Structure 1
Amino acid sequence: MKFYQRLAFFLFGLLIGVIFLIYFLGAKAESRNVTFCYLPNCRVLKDIRNKPFHYSEEASAVLAESWIDTLDIKNTLTYGDVDFSKSNIKEGNAKLYVISGKTQNNIPVVLEILNYEKKAVLKTIQKE
Structure 2
Amino acid sequence: MTSFEPAPDSAWVAAADWIAERHEWLRQLVARIVLGGTSADDWLDQLVDAVIGFEEHELAWLEYERQHPAPRPESQYDAWFAAGPVATPGVQAFGLMSSGEKNLIRLVATLGGRVPWSVRDVSFDQRGAALLSDWLAAVHAQLPR
State the TM-score bracket (shorter-chain normalisation).
Answer: under 0.3
Which of the two has greater helix per residue?
2
Normalised to the residue count of structure 1, the TM-score between the two structures is 0.28
**Bigger relative CO (Cα 8 Å, ≥ 6 apart):** 2
Larger Rg, first or second structure (1 or 2):
1
